[in-house]
Structure 1
Amino acid sequence: MASKRGRLDQFIARRLQVSKKAVRQLLIANKVVVDGEYAKSPDLLINEFSHIICNGVVLQQYQKQYYMLNKPDDVVSATIDDKHPTALSLLVGVDHDMLHIAGRLDLHSTGLLLITNDAKWSAALMAPDNKVDKHYIVTLANPIDESYIDAFANGMYFEFEGITTLPAQLTILSTYQARVVLREGKYHQIKRMFGRFRNPVVGLHRESIGKIGLDKTLFLGQFRLLTTAEIDCVIQQ
């Protein structure tokens, strides 16, 4: 989702269905207030979170929203779906307008989902160049051993895309379970990497994205607002 930046006069003209000349007259008459101040310039750049009042009528008042959700199994990481409940449908009592998911999970994967309406924030969090760590607990159908560690650390060549994955950290937790840390998110990457060992993934749970960890007090399907510290840490990744 891209940030919606544009000129003030274009926004008001479109919103009120008036000419740009009429908008200029409103500006001259101090009838337009943007973020608490009288707007004078028709080419003032605004975005989707600019608070805009014209002739005493609020034209736009979106607030930035940031949530974490403990995604359950069989919930799709989407805004709309015909067959399955969506992640957004679990955010009961929340205005879904402009919300999107920062870092999706597969249908049967569980754990941390971040949901926001702040496109700049989510882009910074998920940008490949930022190489943000994503931690997963993976449960396998067959036993795992030390040979997996080097294979993940060396990266794997995916012939379909013609790419080699970045080094990934694998820590064995038990005979059938490992923690995997990725700095990218190729299509079904973890399942495909374990597939090289003919070892099906039977459970995938995301613990954290960057410095934001899943709140362990959240049951599956529950959500909460991010704290100020969690929101701000994205800039510091």
Structure 2
Amino acid sequence: MQSKRGRLDRYLAKQLIQPKKAIRQLLLQGRVKVDDAICKDMDKQIDEFSHILVDDRTLQSNQPIYIMLHKPVGVVSATQDPNHKTVLDLINHPQKHELHIVGRLDLNTSGLVLLTNDSRWSSQLMHPQHKVTKRYKVRLANPIQHEYIEGFANGFHFEYEGVTTLPAKLEIVAEREAIVSILEGKYHQIKRMFGRYRNPVVELHRLSVGLLELDPVLKCGESRMLTQSEVFLVRS
């Protein structure tokens, strides 16, 4: 989702339905405040969370929202779906329909899902160039062999997309359980990687995205707002 950044003068002209010359006068007269400070710069860059006042009348005062959800199996990562309950159906927030999903999970995958209205924040987490690690707990139908570790580290070529996966880390924690860390999120990626060994994934659960870990207190279907320190884990 693209960030809603733009020039202050263009925003004012659109909101006040006034020509550029009138907007210039407003600014020069010190009648415009951006984030509680008088602003006379027409080229000032603002976004959807800039607090903007004209003659002490509020034009914009949006607040960023950051939510962590423990997604259950059977819930779809979408804002609406005719056949399944969606992650938004589980959120109790008056502005939930303004949120977008940060890193979707398959219908049959559980675990950490993040939702926000801050497109720059979500881009820092999910844009491929940032290579943010996603960790998953996986339960397999058959015993895991140690040869899988090297295969995951080398990457797999997905012929359908014509790409090779980035190196992934596989940690065997039990005969049929593992922790997998990946830097991308291709279609059914983990299931397809284990599929190379003809070992079906029985359960898949996302533990973390970057430094943000699923709160162990959250039960399946529960959500909460992120703390300020959790939000800044991404920005740092």
1:80-159 matches, within 5 Å, as: 80-96=80-96, 98-159=98-159
Corresponding position of 1:2: 2
User: How far did 1:207 drift?
Assistant: 0.5
Residue 71 of structure 1 pairs with residue 71 of structure 2: yes
Q: Offset of 1:232 from its aligned partner?
A: 1.5
1:149-174 deviations in Å (ceiling 9; x for gaps): 22212211111122211221112222
SS of residue paired to 2:9: helix
Report the counterpart of residue 176 of structure 2 in structure 1. Answer: 176
**Please, what is the CA RMSD of the aligned residues?**
1.8
Equivalent residue pairs, number: 236
Residue 203 of structure 2 is matched in structure 1 by 203
| In structure 2, distance between residues paired with 1:126 and 1:198 | 29
Tell me, in whole angstroms, the C-alpha distance in 2 between the residues paired with 1:190 and 1:221: 23
What is the percent sequence identity of the aligned residues? 53
Q: TM-score, normalised by structure 2?
A: 0.92
Distance 1:79 1:180 in 2: 27
Residue of structure 1 in register with 2:217 after alignment:
217
Q: Deviations over 1:25-78 (max 9, x none)?
A: 332443322111222222222111110112333211111221111111121212
Counterpart in 1 of 2:167?
167
Q: Which sits farther off after the overlay, 52-61 or 107-116?
A: 52-61
Letter of the 1:51 partner, please give it: H
Q: Name the stretch that deviates more: 12-21 or 198-207.
A: 12-21
Change (3 A) 1:122 1:198: same
Alpha-carbon distance in 2 for matches of 1:98, 1:18: 28
Q: Determine the structure 2 residue equivalent to 1:44.
A: 44
- Unmatched 5+ residue regions in structure 2? none
Query: 1:98-139 CA distances to partner (integer Å, 9 max, x unpaired)?
Result: 421221111111101111222222211223233222110112
